[in-house]
Structure 1
Amino acid sequence: MTWSDRRSLVLMMAVVLVWQIPLFGRTRAGQDESFYGVPGMMILRSGLPQIPYIPSRDPETIYYHADEILYTLPPLGFYLEAAVHLVLGDGLAPARLASMIAGLVAVAIVCDLTRRCSGSSRAALLAAASFLFSRAFLFPATTARPDMAAIAFGLGAVWWVSRDDRRWRDVALGGVMAGLSMLCHPLGLVPTAQVGLALLVGGRPWRRRIGEASVYSAVALAVFGLWLPMIAMHPELFRIQFGGNVLDRAGPGLGETIVGLPGVLAFQAWNAFDHVGPIQAGLYGLGTLWLMAEVTRKADQGQSRRVLFHVVAAVVLLVLLMGSHHIRNYYGYPAALLSVPVGLLLDRAASRLGALVGTGWAKAIVAAMLVLAMVPGSGLRVLGAHLQHWTDPNYRVGPFVDRIVADLPPGALVAADGSYVLEFFLRDRPVVEAIVDPFYFNVRLEPFEYAVFGPVGLEQIRPEIEGLELVETYGDPSDPFGHYAELYRRVRTDSGSRSAF
């Protein structure tokens, strides 16, 4: 790519950073961020990933002794978070930034994969843009979870082995990337298996194919094995936590998925369609169909065949891995690869259009079409609301929680739901996470004195806890973009015991 092309890519990334980073420190924690936004901070404090406000002592829960060491997911993503915290300090915003950094690396890989496939810098930039501004990128790249790190390393594995002049070093480095992807999240199994299959079915002599697949697999397993020393510290806790969260569900899950494959396909297809929206889903489908037609029409397109293989394999393997699992962040991985044919198709459309209206107009029209496709669900309404209420404390999670803390007695143990528990922890207040779920944690067994619930907690957790007396409300419950919470005092029964027990 020329310097001008690199500058264009950096400019697109800068737009996303300017758009998203101001929101990182203003919005409350979302799905699972109370679980996976804090282990990086704890690594810097104790040397180990931990969730300090889930002191579960029930071996039936996946967070059994998670306040001592966390095994529910592999640890590399948390160490990457810790590296950002080391520079920027504690907080949910730095943890989210770690995901964004991984996301930008993933975008750069998509860009170069497309350039390598087509030889066109314009196609590469269009593919990068279609991923960077997509909903499939937005959620994992702005969430303090290890999904985007696994995606970036997985794409790195694809990048290293999908070369015409591939050497043994490239195969080994692909194995390193695959191992690091699995060391971030089980999602890494998808690119790991996908690249292994690509090596086995490639056009090289069968001895070479088996040798490359063997080297790749051995290196990937060796890298993933870096987790073993930490597992050896508490093997029983690993069995309970990782076994309950991943192995017990994934083991029988594959058989159930295969048996009920039509229903699983329908579920995931609708889930993905609902997540990315009809326009972006249509682009992915149209790009893939066009690439299939191109590969069929031109039998010598080796790179295009590789792209098509990886696109199809990513979708199929992810469906088999997920089954009926509902986490939508995982769609970021196949979406990254689906963006490659989208970029190729838009580049071809710009070329055809350029013959009619001129190159400059063609670029402008294609760029405008891509912008219009990416705008729905891109978070512009959220950004607009925050800009309109920039100084309003109800739109800044830190000052908002400070108001609640000011109404609490010093030293009182608070049960806060996932929206706000991390903020209480950052203020050194005694806190446990308000969860009532036998799979995770039962806060009703904890001796908390006060409880704080945001909108989700009021709907899901508050009805499960008896003996709570409303003390104060904060914010406007009718404002979908501002913060809202309710503070409760835990009351005693006539017998003197906590009624919630």
Structure 2
Amino acid sequence: MTRADRAWLALMMAVVLVWQVPLFSRTRAGQDESFYGVPGMRILRSGLPQIPYIPSRDPETIYYHADEILYTLPPLGFYLEAAVHLILGDGLAQARLASMIAGLVAVVIVCDLTRRWSGSRRAALLAAASYLFSRAFLFPATTARPDMAAIAFGLAAVWWVARDDRRWRDVALGGVMAGLSMLCHPLGLVPTAQVGLALLVGRQPWRRRIGEASVYSAVALAAFGLWLPMIAMRPDLFWIQFGGNVLNRAGPGLGETILGLPSVVAFQAWNASTHIGPIQGGLYGLATLWLVAEVGGGVDRERWRRVLFHAVAAVVLLVLVMGRHHIRNYYGYPAALLSVPVGLMLDRAASRLGAWVGTRWATAIVAVVLGLAMVPGSGLRVLGAHLQHWTDPDYRVGPFVDRIVADLPPEALVAVDGSYVLEFFLRDRPVVEAIVDPFYFNVRLEPFEYAVFGPVGLEQIRPEIEGLERVRTYGDPSDPFGLYAELYRRVQTDSESDGRSAL
């Protein structure tokens, strides 16, 4: 990569950072961030990932004793978060920044893979841009979850192994990356299996292929095995938490997925299209079809076959692993590899257009077209709303929560939904997460005195808890971009009174 290429890549990354990072400290927690945004902070205090505000003592829940040690997901992503917290301090914004850093690493890998496979610097930058500005990248890179770390390590496994001149060291390092991907999240199974299959179906002699696949698999398992010492601390909790969250659901999952494959494919296709959007999804599909035609047409067949294999394998394996799982952040992995044929197709288009308008104009036109394709759903409206209300406390989660905290007795135990529970914890307030779900946690059993709900909590959790009296509201419920919450006081219900009398 030349100095000019690095400058263009750095400029694109800077745009994303300026665009997204200021929102990290202003917006409330999203899906699962109350679960996975806090373990890194706890690691710096206890050495172990924990969720301190979910004190579940019900062994039927996946967060059984999660306030002591967390096993629902592998821990590497939380230790990467801890490294960011060590430098920048506690906060949801810092946990989100850990995902963004992993995302930028993934973009660099996409860029270099495209350059290596195509030999075109322009194709590499176009592929990097198509990934960096996509919705498939945006969500995992701005969410305090370990998905993007798993994606980055998985792409690194592809980077090390997907080369003609690979040596045994490259195979072993690819295994290390694959194992670390799984050590971040079970999503890592997809790149791990994908690279293993690539080794087995390669053009090497069969003994070499089997040997490489064996070394790769052994090293990947060894890297994933770094979790074993932590598992040995509380194997009983591991089987309850990880077993309930992953193993029990994934165990019959592959068989059920294969038996119901048409409906699973339809479900994931719909889920992906609504998440990624028809324009970006159509771009991935068009680029893949173009690449199929290139391979079938005999032009650069060997050159593009590897690209096509990894792009298609990433999609197929993700569908098989996910089944009907609804978490959309996982699409960030196949989107990274689908961005490669996008870059190649746009590079070919620019080459043909260049014969008419010149190389620079052709590159500029193609880049503008790509940019327009990335605009829908990119978060411009959210950014615009925050810029318009930059000093408004209803658009800054810290001052917003400070107002709620100021209205509560300092020692009162407060049940807070996932939108704001981490902010209460950071203010050293006694807090439990307001969840009413036998799979996760039942806050109704906790002796909380007050409750705070955001829009999602008001819809999903508030109706499940009796004996709440509304005290105050904060923010404007009609503003789709601002913050809103309602404060409730817990009052004694007739059923509670009768229960205590019976005792």
Same fold at TM > 0.5: yes
Is the CA contact (8 Å cut-off) linking 2:416 and 2:432 kept in structure 1? Answer: yes
Match of 2:231 in 1: 231
Aligned structure 1 segments of 4 or more residues deviating by more than 6 angstroms: 498-501
TM-score if structure 2 supplies the norm length?
0.98
Q: For residues 412 and 303 of structure 2, what CA distance do their matches in structure 1 show? A: 62
Is the CA contact (8 Å cut-off) linking 1:96 and 1:144 kept in structure 2? Answer: yes
Which residue identity lines up with residue 490 of structure 2 in the other structure? R
Q: CA 1:496 to 1:253, structure 2 compared with 1: closer, same or farther past 3 Å?
A: closer
Is the CA contact (8 Å cut-off) linking 1:154 and 1:177 kept in structure 2? Answer: yes
Q: CA deviation at 1:500?
A: 12
> How well do the aligned residues superpose, as a CA RMSD in angstroms?
1.3
Which residue identity lines up with residue 179 of structure 2 in the other structure? G
Q: CA deviation at 1:492?
A: 1.2
Which residue identity lines up with residue 194 of structure 1 in the other structure? Q
Which consecutive residues of structure 2, in runs of 5 or more, have no partner in the other structure?
A: none
- Output aligned runs, 1:18-417, within 5 Å: 18-298=18-298, 301-417=301-417
Q: For residues 357 and 451 of structure 2, what CA distance do their matches in structure 1 show? A: 64
Q: CA deviation at 1:307?
A: 1.1
Q: For residues 499 and 356 of structure 2, what CA distance do their matches in structure 1 show? A: 76
Local SS of the residue matching 1:485? strand
Q: For residues 90 and 258 of structure 2, what CA distance do their matches in structure 1 show? A: 43
Count of aligned pairs:
501
Local SS of the residue matching 1:64? coil
Is the CA contact (8 Å cut-off) linking 1:394 and 1:483 kept in structure 2? Answer: yes
Is the CA contact (8 Å cut-off) linking 2:466 and 2:493 kept in structure 1? Answer: no
Q: For residues 343 and 382 of structure 1, what CA distance do their matches in structure 2 show? A: 28
Identical residues among aligned pairs (%) = 88
Q: For residues 262 and 473 of structure 1, what CA distance do their matches in structure 2 show? A: 47
Local SS of the residue matching 1:473? strand
Is the CA contact (8 Å cut-off) linking 1:34 and 1:422 kept in structure 2? Answer: yes
Is the CA contact (8 Å cut-off) linking 1:452 and 1:488 kept in structure 2? Answer: yes
Is the CA contact (8 Å cut-off) linking 1:466 and 1:499 kept in structure 2? Answer: no
1:432 has 2:432 as partner = yes
Q: For residues 475 and 157 of structure 2, what CA distance do their matches in structure 1 show? A: 47
Q: For residues 166 and 365 of structure 2, what CA distance do their matches in structure 1 show? A: 38
Q: CA deviation at 1:300?
A: 5.4
Match of 2:442 in 1: 442
Structure 1 stretch 293-302 or stretch 250-259: which is displaced more? 293-302
Structure 1 stretch 296-305 or stretch 24-33: which is displaced more? 296-305
Local SS of the residue matching 2:324? coil
Q: CA deviation at 1:358?
A: 1.5
Local SS of the residue matching 1:378? coil
Q: CA deviation at 1:497?
A: 3.9
Q: For residues 409 and 390 of structure 1, what CA distance do their matches in structure 2 show? A: 30
Is the CA contact (8 Å cut-off) linking 1:467 and 1:500 kept in structure 2? Answer: no
Which residue identity lines up with residue 454 of structure 1 in the other structure? G
Which residue identity lines up with residue 63 of structure 1 in the other structure? Y
Q: CA 1:497 to 1:130, structure 2 compared with 1: closer, same or farther past 3 Å?
A: same
Local SS of the residue matching 1:279? helix
Q: For residues 168 and 444 of structure 2, what CA distance do their matches in structure 1 show? A: 56
Is the CA contact (8 Å cut-off) linking 2:294 and 2:300 kept in structure 1? Answer: no
Local SS of the residue matching 1:451? strand
Local SS of the residue matching 1:164? coil
TM-score if structure 1 supplies the norm length?
0.99
Is the CA contact (8 Å cut-off) linking 1:467 and 1:498 kept in structure 2? Answer: no
Match of 1:473 in 2: 473
Q: CA deviation at 1:302?
A: 2.9
Q: For residues 33 and 498 of structure 2, what CA distance do their matches in structure 1 show? A: 29
